[in-house]
Structure 1
Amino acid sequence: MNDALETVVTAVRRRYRAIRSSRKLAAFLANPLNVAGLVIVASLSVAAVLGPVVAPYDPASQDLANRLQPPSMAHPLGTDQLGRDVCSRLLHGARLSLGIAVAVTAIRLVLGTAIGLIAGYVGGWVDELLMRLVDVQLAFPGLILALVVAGILGPSLRNVMIALAVVGWASYARLVRGSVLSTKEREFVRAARLMGVSRTRIAVRHLLPNVIGPVVVLATMNLGTVILGTAGLSFIGLGAQPPTPEWGTMLSAGRHHLRTAWWIANVPGAAIMLTVLGFNLLGDGLRDVLDPNRDVTLEKPT
């Protein structure tokens, strides 16, 4: 009898979760800004995956006889100061920029989530020590600290990734710690303790799933921030080095030709702007959907 009742309860819970998930998805798609962000991010992902395959030219191939050519049928986005096809370089740069963003965000997420989870659940002097470390990291402006780290390590994309990962993990740690502090006193966690469940199992099976939502939202927004930071460091010469087709490097090279060849700088600049906008819009939409305290509706925003 108990087994049958437990089976029915489990089925009801699964059905409830499925209905709630479908409502959240419908509410997400009902907002045009969410859809716009999703389309932008999906387009970037497709360009990153298929761009190098469909690119019409080699991004490093120079053709000085056709340098500074405006957009045309042969070169849809024109050529740069060395005759390289801007469209091909932009497509190759999409894979580079998105790959760096995903790698840096993953490092931030794993490191920050682990520190925040330990600090919030263990508490005591461990919490104090880890949070003071977070405070020290947050005391420095992120861009300035990244500039210092990248400048010390030397100009390269690998060093830019290290610099951006170093300055971004503290936000995850503080967010996760706050969520854990509010979750660890709830009834299901207390019940797990009374049943003798180990602290590691409680942290992994009960606490971590309840902090995933805010972390995913922060990571989504951080993807755009990392792309912007990578382009900024490359723009000043601390990131990708020529002839690497990175958006910040393309923007830096094109700034000398703004009057005569506007497309060299404006094309990668527009790509950076749209990418950051897309991730921000998607992050805003996910925040509304993943917030467990928000009652989703299908009403369109005013």
Structure 2
Amino acid sequence: MTLATEAPVEVEPVVPRARVARRFLRNPLGAASAALLAIVILAAVLVPLLGLPDPNAVSLRDAMAGPSPHHLLGSDSSGRDVLSRLLWGSRINLLGAALAVAIALVIGVTCGLIAGYYGGWFDGVSTWVNNLTMALPGIVVLLAVRAVVGPSVWIAMAVFGVLLFPGFFRVVRGAVQSVRNELYVDAARVSGLGDARILGRHILTVVRAPVIIQTARLLGIGIAIQAGLEFLGVSDSSVPSWGSMINDGFRKIALNPILILWPSLAVGIVCMALVLFANALRDALE
């Protein structure tokens, strides 16, 4: 009697989530950055419930006022509360950066997986589009978009997300090309798994660490670029944002230098926390 046997499928070891969490929390920089990001996100979500003054309420009598019980961080050149505008502005900046990175993530990871796994004509075309996109001057493109569609931060960040996709494409394509002929991938093909399941179960797990670090890096870039665009006026002036606050502080820097401090700190600290968070999570996953 002949016994039918199946060739064993070699799979990658998967680190349990509990172990990843323990490794991550043992890293003091990772835990501190995660706590800081959680506080920023929580403040952005709960700002309507905090009872702060209207961020657009103008009071010329309170213009350039220092910190007080009514204005904890003082007021700007129009008498608007700095703390209120800082927290309401965090919503705009975080959501705008998240929109740009989400668009770049979907386009870049999808095209990188297909191009790296299959190669052929799709790889050639997508690589050509990737190089063309990288050659475009991003700020010039965004200024042109502003001239056509008006000062909409959401449209500007959506276009910026398209310009950011090469950051994911190059990382994912290179990682997929390095593992597509590994033994565990060949074994998965022999066992009858389709390409979609191989990409989702075996190859996508290989690229998750570089994608995570790239996501955090591009989130920081998105926040900084959005603040820069708002500083240049590529946004609705009636919407509070960190970039418009930096613009106002820069124009009044001789009269009240501290006005430029708070939004600049917000941009710098959040970008730093994102990089530290991604590095710690990458180390935990590996």
**TM-score by shorter chain over 0.5:** yes
Which of 197, 218, 234 in structure 1 is aligned with 2:214? 218
Q: Does 1:277 align with 2:272?
A: yes
Q: Does 1:288 align with 2:283?
A: yes
* 8 Å Cα contact 1:77-1:263 kept in structure 2: no
Percent of residue pairs identical: 36
* 8 Å Cα contact 1:55-1:87 kept in structure 2: no
Structure 1 residue identity aligned to 2:270: T
For residues 35 and 142 of structure 1, the distance between their equivalents in structure 2, rounded to whole angstroms, comes to 34
Which of 219, 242, 251 in structure 2 is aligned with 1:256? 251
Structure 2 residue identity aligned to 1:243: S
Which of 100, 105, 108 in structure 2 is aligned with 1:104? 100
For residues 55 and 139 of structure 1, the distance between their equivalents in structure 2, rounded to whole angstroms, comes to 47
Q: Name the structure 2 match of 1:299.
A: none
Q: Does 1:113 align with 2:109?
A: yes
Q: Does 1:125 align with 2:121?
A: yes
Kindly provide the CA deviation profile for residues 26-50 of structure 1, in whole angstroms up to 9, marking residues without a partner as x.
3333333223322221111111111
Which of 156, 162, 168 in structure 2 is aligned with 1:166? 162
Q: Does 1:177 align with 2:173?
A: yes
Structure 2 residue identity aligned to 1:242: S
Distance 1:37 1:145, change over 3 A: farther
Structure 2 residue identity aligned to 1:106: A
For residues 199 and 186 of structure 2, the distance between their equivalents in structure 1, rounded to whole angstroms, comes to 12
For residues 104 and 279 of structure 1, the distance between their equivalents in structure 2, rounded to whole angstroms, comes to 15
Kindly provide the CA deviation profile for residues 25-75 of structure 1, in whole angstroms up to 9, marking residues without a partner as x.
333333332233222211111111112321421111111221111111111
For residues 87 and 51 of structure 2, the distance between their equivalents in structure 1, rounded to whole angstroms, comes to 7
* 8 Å Cα contact 1:108-1:169 kept in structure 2: yes
Give the superposed CA RMSD: 2.2
For residues 31 and 188 of structure 2, the distance between their equivalents in structure 1, rounded to whole angstroms, comes to 40
Which secondary structure state, in structure 1, belongs to the residue aligned with residue 170 of structure 2? helix
* 8 Å Cα contact 1:150-1:163 kept in structure 2: no
For residues 256 and 154 of structure 1, the distance between their equivalents in structure 2, rounded to whole angstroms, comes to 23
For residues 62 and 182 of structure 1, the distance between their equivalents in structure 2, rounded to whole angstroms, comes to 58
Q: Does 1:267 align with 2:239?
A: no
For residues 73 and 242 of structure 2, the distance between their equivalents in structure 1, rounded to whole angstroms, comes to 14
How far 1:175 sits from its partner (Å)? 0.8
Gaps of 5+ in 2: 1-11
For residues 31 and 190 of structure 2, the distance between their equivalents in structure 1, rounded to whole angstroms, comes to 45
Aligned residues: 275
For residues 23 and 207 of structure 1, the distance between their equivalents in structure 2, rounded to whole angstroms, comes to 21
Structure 1 residue identity aligned to 2:274: F
How far 1:216 sits from its partner (Å)? 1.7
How far 1:81 sits from its partner (Å)? 1.4
Structure 1 runs of 4+ off > 6 angstroms? none
Which of 94, 98, 121 in structure 1 is aligned with 2:90? 94
Kindly provide the CA deviation profile for residues 84-136 of structure 1, in whole angstroms up to 9, marking residues without a partner as x.
11111111111111111111111110110011011011111221111121122
Which secondary structure state, in structure 2, belongs to the residue aligned with residue 211 of structure 1? helix
How far 1:146 sits from its partner (Å)? 4.0
Structure 2 residue identity aligned to 1:54: L
